[in-house]
Amino acid sequence: MDSSLQSWGAGTLHLDDQEFLDAFEACTLPGKLFNHADHIRLARIYVLRLGSGAGDAAAIAIRRYADHLGASTKYHETITRAWMILVHRAVADQPAESFPAFAAAHPHLLDKDVLKRYYSKTLLVSDEARHSWIPPDLAPIP
């Protein structure tokens, strides 16, 4: 396993993409396995399969999964949409054949703090950003 994926604790690499997606969408994937790298993996799968419809599908699925885990307050619309934009652009640039190869080609996506380049903390902690899409206030997402 790639050391950067290992350091972020990608907990689902033992599953192929379809198994991972099926477990996530069926809400049978244990929450302890679903971390930042797995969010990026999920986003990549949705982008590869759904293209421009990926953002809506991912938002619905992540919200449902969070609800299932009893963590509905953790869902954040702006953060979800911003990551989907970043992943969509990375897939367009270099989709790679596997998630480890994709992560190696786009290591910035494994940095959970990358949104700080585009959003102020004040904006991201706002209720408005939590419940609806708010464009970046520091810099446009490339």
Q: How far apart are CA 10 and CA 4, in angstroms?
A: 9
pLDDT digits (tens, 9 = 90+) for 14-36: 899 999 999 999 999 999 889 89
Residue 11: what pLDDT? 75
Domain segments of the chain as ranges: 3-111
Taking the alpha carbons of 50, 55, 60, 65 in that order, is the dihedral positive or negative? Answer: positive
Flag whether the pTM goes above 0.85.
yes
CB 47 within 8 A of CB 35: no
CB 87 within 8 A of CB 95: no
pLDDT digits (tens, 9 = 90+) for 118-142: 999 999 999 999 999 999 999 999 8
Task: Write the single-letter amino acid at 122.
Answer: T
Taking the alpha carbons of 113, 27, 15, 47 in that order, is the dihedral positive or negative? Answer: negative
- Mean pLDDT value across residues 90-101: 93
